[in-house]
Chain A
Amino acid sequence: MAFASARNVSAPGPGEIASAVIVALAFAVPFVSDSQLVYSLTNQILIAITASFSVYIMLRMDLMTFAVPAFMALGGYAFAIASLRGGITDTIALAALAFAVPALVALPLGVLVLRLRGVYFVLVTFVLTQILDLLLFETPGLTGGSNGLVGMPPTTLFGLTLGDNRGVLFVAAGLTLTATLITAGLTSYFRQHFAAIEENETLAQSLGLITWRYKVLGFVVAAGVAGMAGFALVNMLLTAHPTSFSPISSVNYIGYAIIGGRGSMLGPIIGSGLLVWATNMFSIQGEYSQGLFGVLIIIVVMLAKGGIVGTAAALWRRFARRDAAAPISPPASQPSMPR
C-alpha cells in the first residue's frame, strides 16, 4: 500500500485564480463609466498592482527589492524610445520590449549579486535605482534628460488605435492581466522552490536545490513585470520623465505589497487598490504618502505580518474553526493561503 504520493504542487491556487479574475474586471470599467476620475484611478491602481507584483515575486524568497522604479524606468523608456525612434506602435511588440529590456539588465546583475547574502542584494537594488535616476538626467541625447521624452504616437493593436482614454485603460488592463498571469505562473510553478528558499535555504541546498538559480529567475521576471508597469505609466502620462521613477517611489510599491499582504497575490491587489484610492481621496501626494506608507509598513510588520489579506484570512479561518464543532481537520498546508 502506498502511503505517500506526490500531489499537484505546481498548479495555481485559489489566490492566483481570484487575482486574475479581479484584474480582468478592469476591462469592464470603460463600459460602465465614462468618468475621467474613474479612468485615472483605475489606471493608477493597475500600474500599482503590476509594480507591486514585482516586489511580491522577490518577497516569495524573502528578498526585499528597491529596484522596482529602476526597472519601470527601463521598461517605460524602452517603450518611448522604440516608439519615437523606431516608429513601433504595436502594443504587443512594445509590451514584449518593455518586459525584455529590464529582464536582460537584471540577468547579469542577479547572477553577480544573488550568490551573496540577502542584505547585499537589498543594498544593490537601492544603489541601482539611484544610479539609473542619475543616468536618466545625465543622458539627454537618449532620454531627453530633465525634459523627458514626449510625443509618442498612440499604440495600436491589430490595426486599432488605442489613443483615447479608453484605449489607454485597455492597454493598462492588458498589461496588468499579462503581468498577473506571468506572476501567477512563476510563483505557482516554482512555489516549492521559492518557499524552500524563503524558509530554509541551507536545507534546500543540501537537498540539491541550486538556490541562486531560482533567485536569479525570480529577479529577472520581477524586473520584466516592473518594466510592463513602466510602459503603462509612460503610456498613461504621455511622457517618459525621470520624476515618474524617483527612487523614493520604491517605498510605495513595497508598501502596497506588504500592507496588502505578502502571502498571497491578492495582497498587492488589495493593497494597491486601497492605498492608491486613499492617496487620491485625501490628496496626500509626494513625500506625505510615503511617510504614511512607512508608518503603515511598520505597523503591519509589528502587528499583522500577513497584511490586510493575511489578517482577514486568519480571522476567517478562526471563525470557520469555531463554527465547526465537528472533528477539526489537521492544519493541512495550503500554500496559496496567506500565512
Chain B
Amino acid sequence: MIGTVSAITGSNDGELRVDGISMRFGGLKVFEDISLRLSPRDILGVIGPNGAGKTTLINVICGKLAPVAGHVFLGGTDISGRSTHTLSRMGLVRSFQQTNTFRTASVRENLSRAIRFSSGGAESWRRMDELLDRFDLAHRLDEQSDKLPYGLQKMLGLLLAYATTPKVLLLDEPAAGLEGRERTRVDDFVHHAQRDLGCAILIVEHDMDLIRRLCPRIMVLDAGRLLAEGPPDEVLSRRDVIDAYVGAVDEEDE
C-alpha cells in the first residue's frame, strides 16, 4: 500500500507551502502575512473565532481568490493566481462549509461527475467502496442528493473531493452542523484520505474535540493574524488563545 501511495504522490509532489500571503477586500484587511507548510500525510488544524479569515484563507489557497501579496507553492511550483480548476487538476481540492452537491443528481451521478471531471476511472470508483459503505451511502446511490439527510449531504461533499484523488485537501468546517455521532465520520474520512491517498490535509474547524483528535499541529488565527501555532494541547491552554476564543475553549476544555 505504501508503495502505491508514493507512486501516486511522487517524492515532493504533494507538498503545500504558503509563503507570506495577505488578503484584502478593498480597504478591509482579511489576513496578513500567513505562512504554512504541509507535507504529504500532514494534518493541520486551523482555528479561530468567526471572522478570523479562515474560509478566506481556503479560498485564496484553492485559487478562488488571488492574494494581494505572497505566494502559494504546490510541489515546488508557484501556483498563486492560478484558477480553481487548474489547481484541482494538480491535486489541490477543497470542500465546502455548506452542503454542496449537484442537488438534482443522484449520489452515483454526483460521484460519476467528480470522477469524470478529474479524469479518473475504474480505480477511482473502487476506492470509493469502503467509504460509501462506512458512511451509509452504499445503498443510497440512486437517491437524489438533496433528498439525503443533512449529515449525509455533507459527507457526500467530502466524498466528491476524495473522488478526484487529491494530494492536498482543504476542508472547510467538515463537522459543522453534524450531530455528535456523525462527527466521527469526519475522523474516518480524514484518516482514510491520509492513509489511502497520502493526502496532506488542512482542516478549518470549530469543534475542538475533533481538532484535538485529528491534528498533531494547529494554527490559531485571530483578526487576520497568526496568534499561535503548535501542538493543540499546548496552544489551546495559552491565555491569549483562550481570550481570543471567548470562552469557547474554556467550556470544552476545562
Contact = CB atoms under 8 A, between A and B. Distances in A.
Interface of A: 1-7, 9, 192-193, 195-196, 199-200, 202-211, 330-333, 335, 339
14 contacts: A3-B129, A6-B112, A196-B102, A196-B113, A200-B101, A205-B88, A206-B62, A207-B113, A208-B118, A330-B143, A331-B143, A332-B142, A333-B104, A335-B109
B112 A203 contact: no
Contacts of A195: 102, 105, 113
B56 interface: no
Interface string B116-155: 1111001001101100110000110111100100000000
B16 interface: no
Contact of A331 (B89, B112, B147): B147
A5 to B, nearest CB: 5
B144 A331 contact: yes
A2 B126 contact: yes
Contact of B141 (A3, A196, A210): A3
A30 B128 CA distance: 56
Interface of B: 62, 83-85, 88-89, 93-94, 96, 100-106, 108-109, 111-119, 122, 125-126, 128-129, 132-133, 138-139, 141-144, 147, 160-161, 163-164
A332 B108 CA distance: 10
Contacts of A339: 104
A330 B142 contact: yes
Nearest to A193: B117
The listed residue with most A CB atoms (<10 A of its CB), out of B101, B112, B133, is B112
A214 B129 CA distance: 30
B140 to A, nearest CB: 8
B117 A209 contact: yes
Contacts of A335: 109
Contacts of A2: 125-126, 129
Contact of B119 (A199, A200, A203, A208): A208
Contact of B94 (A193, A196, A206, A209): A206
A206 B111 contact: no
- Chain A at the B interface: mostly helix, strand, loop or mixed? loop
Contacts of B116: 9, 192
Contact of A333 (B83, B100, B109, B132): B109
Nearest to A204: B117
A3 B101 contact: no
B85 A208 contact: yes
Contacts of A330: 142-143
A207 B104 contact: no
Given A4-B141, A5-B125, A195-B105, A207 B118 contact: yes
A6 B122 contact: yes
Nearest to B143: A330
Contacts of B122: 5-6
The listed residue with most A CB atoms (<10 A of its CB), out of B83, B111, B116, B117, is B117
Contacts of A208: 85, 88-89, 93, 117-119, 164
A281 B203 CA distance: 65
A9 B117 CA distance: 13
Given A4-B111, A205-B83, A211-B85, A200 B102 contact: yes
Contacts of A211: 85
B101 A203 contact: yes
A5 B84 CA distance: 27
Contact of B164 (A6, A7, A200, A207): A207
